Amino acid sequence: MAALTDLTIAEAGAALEKGDFTARELTDAYLSAMETARGLNAYIEETPERAQAMADASDARRAGGKAEGPLDGIPLAIKDLFCTEGALSTAGSHILEGFRPTYESTVTQNLWDAGAVMLGKVNMDEFAMGSANITSHYGPTLNPWKASSGDNAGKDLVPGGSSGGSAAAVAARIAAGATGTDTGGSIRQPGAFCGIVGLKPTYGRCSRWGVIAFASSLDQAGPIARSVEDSAIMLGGMAGFDPKDSTSVDLPVPDYAAALTGDIRGLRVGVPAEYRMDGTPPEIEALWQQGVAWLRDAGAEIVDISMPHTKYALPAYYIVAPAEASSNLARYDGMRYGLRVEGEDLTDTYERTRAEGFGHEVQRRVMIGTYVLSAGYYDAYYLKAQRVRTRIADDFKAAWDSCDVILTPTTPSAAFALGEKQDDPIAMYLNDIFTVPASMAGLPAISVPAGLSADGLPLGLHLIAPAFGEEILLRAAHVLEGAAGFDAQP
Ligand code: GLN
């Protein structure tokens, strides 16, 4: 039998149901795998006692015939952006040093209510700002994959960001699945870099309550998992209306796993001309064409579409996101939680706390954000970016007249080496070129591992669907996954 930690959520859930092993045995297998994989620095805090107690409770429920469903007894890693009662919740930042909330985020509470087990909190870019998991106060997380050839052969690689700890943990089999959050690509890009599936749901599908805010109009929680089916199962456990989040949408949560019918005959797949950017490496372009061929062979109809405002998405995102971040992060003043650096007076204490508590990338975003929101520049930058955002959403609206989903690459490259692009924010921001437009429009999107680069690293394909089109998105992703047959492991 395969190692327990190699099973997908669906496989482990079926085996638990049959009584092949207990949730406690499954959890213990993950806890010992976590010990041997500490070199990846994926976990900020491991919570073994809590995990074992939750697993025992799951076994007791099942013994009493009261198991909750497909997530009961499944061990998960939780991105450190989610507030978890009594467990460290730092957003990867020094400024939240030692913060242990007295409450639980709605998404994690939903998962515990579904019977899932918490293994611990996983590393991330500070306040979810980044694409490489290198801005964390707790140090970088490493990608479990290594390049087999090329300039980066054998080097430590980044797992992508900001949900880098989540993606590395799932790929390294030290979590069966993980929560992530995606503001501009932070679930999909690390999913692609680590060879696993990353799903960003529609804005409003999962509650943001108890998720430490980065850019409130963009942030959305979603699953990181080893298969499309696992993503469907996890999303079912995470999603739902929450009266505590006024942007959460009151729609029933469908049975997402039931949407995976394998049949996409007649599905119209849009291929946007404007995503064919200068400088995209030939192997990314080739994989994209391969994806088109796979979907066509499965009976889909391929449609050429045009999304003329695509090129403005990234610059507009890097105005809107920092603007919202600068406002959200104003609350970290050393008075209420986390770090306080005492100064001469109140203002000095604020300044010292924020200077010491926030890392460079966060400070850069706060400065950009306050600048674009300032009286003299608001119209020129922030308002204009908001207008561009509307145009981007209009591009998608027009596209849905002729297609049901859109196919693009997930990232312009495979995982890069630790230290690369570190001093060049623009190069780093370009990682999000394919993922940001869907974020700006609030649409659901997924990255599916689809092949290996010439250097032996995973590459992802990206599907986007209309708002609340998660079922069609997952159905198409499932077919893509089957056609790609990606079974390589780190
Ligand atoms: N990499 C993007 C950024 O740094 C996206 C981050 C995210 O989605 N949280 O803003």
The secondary structure of the chain, three-state, reads CCCHHHCCHHHHHHHHHHCCCCHHHHHHHHHHHHHHCHHHCCEEEECHHHHHHHHHHHHHHHHCCCCCCCCCCCEEEEECCECECCECCCCCCHHHCCCCCCCCCHHHHHHHHCCCEEEEEECCCHHHCCCCCCCCCCCCCCCCCCECCCCCECCCECCCCCCHHHHHHHHCCCCCEEEEEECCCCCHHHHHHHCCEEEECCCCCCCCCCECCCCCCCCEEEEEECCHHHHHHHHHHHCCCCCCCCCCCCCCCCCHHHHCCCCCCCCEEEEEHHHCCCCCCHHHHHHHHHHHHHHHHCCCEEEEECCCCHHHHHHHHHHHHHHHHHHHHHHCCCCCCCCCCCCCCHHHHHHHHHHHHCCHHHHHHHHHHHHHHCCCCHHHHHHHHHHHHHHHHHHHHHHCCCCCEEEEECCCCCCCECCCCCCCHHHHHHHHCCCHHHHHCCCCEEEEEEEECCCCCEEEEEEECCCCCHHHHHHHHHHHHHHHCCCCCC
Answer yes or no: is the C-beta of 92 below 6 A from any ligand 1 atom. Answer: no
Question: In this predicted structure, what is the pLDDT of residue 421?
Answer: 86
Task: Give me ligand 1 centre to Cα 161, in Å.
Answer: 7
Answer yes or no: is the C-beta of 191 below 6 A from any ligand 1 atom. Answer: no
Answer yes or no: is the C-beta of 135 below 6 A from any ligand 1 atom. Answer: no
Task: Give me ligand 1 centre to Cα 184, in Å.
Answer: 5
Among 125, 181, 432, say which to mutate for ligand 1: greatest number of ligand atoms within 8 Å of CB. Answer: 432
pTM beyond 0.85, yes or no: yes
Set 162, 207, 231, 453: catalytic member: 162
Task: Give me ligand 1 centre to Cα 294, in Å.
Answer: 30
Q: Work out the average pLDDT over 295-302.
A: 98
- Give the sheet arrangement for strand 268-272, strand by strand: 43-46, 117-122, 75-79, 177-182, 220-225, 197-200, 445-452, 458-464, 405-409, 268-272, 301-305
Q: Read off the tokens for 98.
A: 């030692």
Number of other CB atoms surrounding residue 64 within 10 Å = 8
Which residue's CA is the closest to the ligand 1 atom numbered 10? 129
pLDDT tens string 316-333? 999 999 999 999 999 999
Question: In this predicted structure, what is the pLDDT of residue 277?
Answer: 82
Is the pLDDT at 1 greater than 60, yes or no? Answer: no
Task: Give me ligand 1 centre to Cα 226, in Å.
Answer: 22
pLDDT tens string 481-490? 999 999 999 9
> What gap in Å lies between CA 319 and CA 170, rounded to an integer?
32
Set 58, 186, 231, 413: catalytic member: 186
Residue 431 CA, closest ligand 1 atom number: 1
Instruction: Please give the share of the chain, as a percent, with pLDDT higher than 90.
Output: 96
Q: Work out the average pLDDT over 366-377.
A: 96
**Is the distance from CB of 430 to CB of 311 less than 8 angstroms?**
no
pLDDT tens string 39-76? 999 999 999 999 999 999 999 999 999 999 999 999 99
Answer yes or no: is the C-beta of 130 below 6 A from any ligand 1 atom. Answer: yes
Among 80, 81, 123, 131, say which to mutate for ligand 1: greatest number of ligand atoms within 8 Å of CB. Answer: 131
pLDDT tens string 253-274? 999 999 999 999 999 999 999 9
Task: Give me ligand 1 centre to Cα 408, in Å.
Answer: 18
Question: In this predicted structure, what is the pLDDT of residue 425?
Answer: 84
Task: Give me ligand 1 centre to Cα 477, in Å.
Answer: 23
Residue 185 CA, closest ligand 1 atom number: 8
Catalytic residue flag (residue 58): no
Task: Give me ligand 1 centre to Cα 318, in Å.
Answer: 9
Look at residues 3, 82, 15, 17 and name the one whose alpha carbon lies nearest to residue 47: 82
Residue 187 CA, closest ligand 1 atom number: 8
Among 136, 162, 421, say which to mutate for ligand 1: greatest number of ligand atoms within 8 Å of CB. Answer: 162
pLDDT tens string 376-421? 999 999 999 999 999 999 999 999 999 999 999 999 999 999 999 8
Answer yes or no: is the C-beta of 162 below 6 A from any ligand 1 atom. Answer: yes
pLDDT tens string 166-192? 999 999 999 999 999 999 999 999 999
Catalytic residue flag (residue 162): yes
Model confidence at 428, pLDDT cuts 50, 70, 90, reads confident
Answer yes or no: is the C-beta of 185 below 6 A from any ligand 1 atom. Answer: yes
Catalytic residue flag (residue 79): yes
Answer yes or no: is the C-beta of 128 below 6 A from any ligand 1 atom. Answer: yes
Model confidence at 2, pLDDT cuts 50, 70, 90, reads low
Model confidence at 98, pLDDT cuts 50, 70, 90, reads very high
Task: Give me ligand 1 centre to Cα 4, in Å.
Answer: 33
Is the pLDDT at 280 greater than 60, yes or no? Answer: yes
Among 81, 123, 126, 129, say which to mutate for ligand 1: greatest number of ligand atoms within 8 Å of CB. Answer: 129
